[in-house]
C-alpha cells in the first residue's frame, strides 16, 4: 500500500502544478498517482511507505553507478564541507572540463551549465552566431529540453501527454525550426536542397531515448555528418542521455562520428543538476567573455555538482566497467526477448548499451511515427502490475529503461520473471 505517498500527493497538489516538478512523474500516462520516494540504495528505490523497488529509471539516466554510490556520496560530503557555491571559478571545474575533453575527441573547449536544456539552448544560439543563419533542423520525437524553438513534436513528456507543442511559445520562435522524421535520409536531403544556405545547425539525439530507445539506421549519422559539411552547417549531437552511457566517448565514440558541437548532462553531474556544451575551439571562442555570444549562470560549475560528476566519471574510467554494464544489459534484453517468444508476442525490444525500451507494438520502431503506434493502454496495465511485483519502470511507453552498475544478475532475473508473469496475465 502507498498511504503516505497519497498523503504527500494531496499536499503537493495544493502547492505544485499537478503535484510534481516534472510532468512525466505524475504517472498519468500509466493511470496511476505519483510515488513519493524516501531513498535509493544501489539498484533499488524505497518509497515513503517502505516499499522497495528495482529501479529502471535511475533518475532518467544519470545514476549509472546506482543510487548513493559511496565514492560519489563521499565527494559530495567533502565538497559541501568546503562550501555550497562560490559564484567564482574552482579547480574542480577545470579538472572536470579536462576529463570530458580527454574522453570526447570532438570537444576542444566546453562550458559548464546547469541542465541539458541550458546546454542545447546555448548550442543553438552559438550555431546561429557562428554561421550567421537562422534555421535549425531537429527530428520528430527527439527531446532537447524545454527550449522554446525546439518544442515541436519533441518526444518525452510531450509524447506522453500527446502535446505537439506548448502554449506560450510564439509561432515566430518555431518558424525557423524544420522538424523532420528521424532516420529519413530523403527528407533531410530535400530539406537541405530547399533551405541549405539558411540552415545554421542540425541537432539530433544520435540514439534517441525520449520516444523510447530508437536506433539510428545504418549510415544515417554518417549521412548527417556529410551533408552538414557539404552545406557548411553545424552538426550538434545532443548526448545529454548517451554521453558516458554508451561508452566513455558517448554515441559519437560508438559510431565514430564527430559533431561540431556536443551537449552533455545527466551522468557528468553524478545525480546533481549539471549540463555542458562544447566543440571546436574556433566555435567555442565566440562564447563570452572571449567572444560576443552571451551565456551565463550563477550556479554554473557548482562545486558540489562538479565533485559528484568527477567521482562518477573516475569510476567509469576504471577497466572493465562498460563491459560489465554491457553484459548485464544484454542479459535483460535477451531475457525480455525470450519471454516474448515463449508467449508468442511480437512486441519489440530496442537496446543501445545500458538503455532499452520494450515497445508494445509489432512494428519495428524506427522513428516517432512508429513509436506512437504502440499500445499505450496495455503498457499502462503492464506498468501497474510490474510495480506490484516490485519493479519501478519509467511511467511512460515513450521513455528509456536505464540499467546501472548496481544492477546484478539477481535483479535482472527477478525482472524477467515478473515480466513473464505480468505479460501472461494481460495478453
How many residues make up the chain in this entry?
427
Segments in 231-367 forming alpha helices (H): 250-255, 281-284, 303-316, 321-342
Domain boundary among 299, 316, 333: 316
pTM, entire model:
0.94
Please give the backbone phi and psi of residue 357, each rounded to the nearest 5 degrees, phi first.
-140, 135
Which of the 8 DSSP states describes residue 273?
S
| Active-site residue flag, 49 | no
Chain Cα centroid distance, residue 185: 24
What cell does 410 get?
539477481
**Residue 241's domain is classified under what CATH number?**
3.40.640.10
Whether 119 and 219 map to the same domain: the answer is: yes
Whether 169 and 291 map to the same domain: the answer is: yes
Domain that holds residue 268: 70-316
Domain boundary among 261, 294, 316: 316
Active-site hit among 56, 143, 347, 392 = 143
**Residue 391's domain is classified under what CATH number?**
3.90.1150.10
d(CA 196, CA 230): 9
Whether 360 and 307 map to the same domain: the answer is: no
List of residues 6+ apart from 49 with CB closer than 8 A: 1, 2, 3, 4, 5
Decide the pairing of beta strands 391-392 and 52-55: parallel
Q: CB burial class (10 A; 0-12, 13-18, 19+) of residue 381? A: middle
Q: What is the DSSP string of 160-215?
A: HTT-SS-TT--HHHHTTEEEE-TT-HHHHHHHHHHHGGGEEEEEE-SS--SSS--P
Q: What count of Cα atoms within 13 Å lies in the side-chain half-sphere of residue 86?
A: 16
Whether 220 and 364 map to the same domain: the answer is: no
pLDDT of residue 174: 77
pLDDT of residue 158: 45
| Active-site residue flag, 266 | yes
Chain Cα centroid distance, residue 210: 7
Whether 64 and 76 map to the same domain: the answer is: no
pLDDT by 10s per residue, the chain, length 427: 789 999 999 999 999 999 999 999 999 999 999 999 999 999 999 999 999 999 999 999 999 999 999 999 999 999 999 999 999 999 999 999 999 999 999 999 999 999 999 999 999 999 999 999 999 999 999 999 877 667 665 444 444 334 446 677 777 777 889 999 999 999 999 999 999 999 999 999 999 999 999 999 999 999 999 999 999 999 999 999 999 999 999 999 999 999 999 999 999 999 999 999 999 999 999 999 999 999 999 999 999 999 999 999 999 999 999 999 999 999 999 999 999 999 999 999 999 999 999 999 999 999 999 999 999 999 999 999 999 999 999 999 999 999 999 999 999 999 999 999 999 999 8
Whether 116 and 212 map to the same domain: the answer is: yes
pLDDT of residue 161: 39
Whether 282 and 340 map to the same domain: the answer is: no
| Residue 381 near residue 426, CB atoms below 8 Å | yes
Q: CB burial class (10 A; 0-12, 13-18, 19+) of residue 272? A: buried
Whether 153 and 290 map to the same domain: the answer is: yes
Active-site hit among 47, 55, 238, 260 = 238
What cell does 44 get?
533499488
| Residue 254 near residue 246, CB atoms below 8 Å | yes
pLDDT of residue 266: 97
| Residue 157 near residue 25, CB atoms below 8 Å | no
Whether 302 and 348 map to the same domain: the answer is: no
What cell does 251 get?
554515441
List of residues 6+ apart from 302 with CB closer than 8 A: 84, 85, 114, 272, 273, 274
Please give the backbone phi and psi of residue 105, each rounded to the nearest 5 degrees, phi first.
-60, -25
Whether 211 and 353 map to the same domain: the answer is: no
Whether 81 and 170 map to the same domain: the answer is: yes
Whether 147 and 192 map to the same domain: the answer is: yes
Angle at 195 between CA 237 and CA 186, to 5 degrees: 70
| E strand or H helix that includes residue 376 | helix 376-388
pLDDT of residue 148: 67
| Active-site residue flag, 143 | yes
**DSSP bridge pairs for 358:** 349
pLDDT of residue 162: 42
Cα 301 to Cα 178, 241, 269, 307, 419: the distances in Å are 33, 19, 10, 10, 41
pLDDT of residue 366: 97
Number of structural domains the chain divides into = 2
pLDDT of residue 170: 73
Domain boundary among 316, 332, 363: 316
Active-site hit among 260, 266, 277, 392 = 266
Amino acid at each position: 500500500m502507498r498511504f503516505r505517498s497519497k498523503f504527500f500527493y494531496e499536499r503537493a497538489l495544493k502547492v505544485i502544478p499537478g503535484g510534481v516538478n516534472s510532468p512525466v512523474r505524475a504517472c498519468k500516462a500509466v493511470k496511476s498517482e505519483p510515488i513519493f520516494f524516501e531513498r535509493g540504495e544501489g539498484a533499488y528505490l524505497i518509497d515513503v511507505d517502505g516499499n522497495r523497488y528495482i529501479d529502471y529509471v535511475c533518475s532518467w539516466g544519470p545514476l549509472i553507478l546506482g543510487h548513493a554510490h559511496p565514492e560519489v556520496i563521499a565527494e559530495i560530503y567533502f565538497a559541501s564541507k568546503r562550501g555550497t557555491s562560490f559564484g567564482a571559478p574552482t579547480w574542480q571545474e577545470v579538472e572536470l572540463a579536462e576529463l570530458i575533453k580527454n574522453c570526447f575527441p570532438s570537444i576542444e573547449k566546453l562550458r559548464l551549465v546547469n541542465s541539458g536544456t541550458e546546454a542545447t539552448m546555448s548550442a543553438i544560439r552559438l550555431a546561429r552566431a557562428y554561421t550567421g543563419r537562422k534555421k535549425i533542423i531537429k527530428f520528430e520525437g527527439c527531446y532537447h529540453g524545454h527550449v522554446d524553438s525546439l518544442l515541436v513534436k519533441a518526444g518525452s513528456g510531450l509524447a506522453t501527454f500527446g502535446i505537439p507543442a506548448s502554449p506560450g511559445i510564439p509561432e515566430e520562435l518555431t518558424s525557423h525550426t524544420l522538424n523532420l522524421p528521424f532516420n529519413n535520409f530523403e527528407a533531410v536531403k530535400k530539406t537541405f536542397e530547399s533551405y541549405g544556405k539558411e540552415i545554421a545547425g542540425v541537432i539530433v539525439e544520435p540514439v534517441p531515448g525520449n520516444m523510447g530507445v530508437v536506433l539510428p539506421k545504418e549510415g544515417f549519422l554518417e549521412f548527417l555528418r556529410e551533408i552538414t559539411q557539404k552545406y557548411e552547417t553545424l552538426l550538434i549531437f545532443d548526448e545529454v542521455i548517451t554521453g558516458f552511457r554508451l561508452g566513455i566517448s558517448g554515441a559519437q565514440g560508438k559510431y565514430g562520428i564527430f559533431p561540431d558541437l556536443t551537449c552533455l548532462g545527466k551522468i557528468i553531474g553524478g545525480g546533481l543538476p549539471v549540463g555542458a556544451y562544447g566543440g571546436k575551439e574556433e566555435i567555442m571562442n565566440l562564447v563570452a567573455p572571449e567572444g560576443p555570444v552571451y551565456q551565463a549562470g550563477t550556479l554554473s560549475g557548482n562545486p558540489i555538482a562538479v565533485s559528484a560528476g568527477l567521482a562518477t566519471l573516475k569510476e567509469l574510467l576504471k577497466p572493465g566497467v562498460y563491459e560489465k554494464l554491457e553484459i548485464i544489459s544484454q542479459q535483460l534484453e535477451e531475457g525480455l526477448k525470450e519471454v516474448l517468444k515463449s508467449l508468442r508476442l511480437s512486441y519489440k525490444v530496442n537496446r543501445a548499451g545500458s538503455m532499452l525500451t520494450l515497445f508494445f507494438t509489432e512494428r519495428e520502431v524506427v522513428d516517432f511515427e512508429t513509436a506512437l503506434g504502440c499500445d499505450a493502454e496495455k503498457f499502462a496495465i503492464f506498468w501497474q502490475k510490474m510495480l506490484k511485483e516490485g519493479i519501478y519502470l519509467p511511467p511512460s511507453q515513450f521513455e528509456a529503461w536505464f540499467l546501472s552498475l548496481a544492477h546484478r544478475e539477481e535483479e535482472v532475473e527477478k525482472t524477467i520473471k515478473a515480466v513473464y508473469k505480468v505479460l501472461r496475465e494481460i495478453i
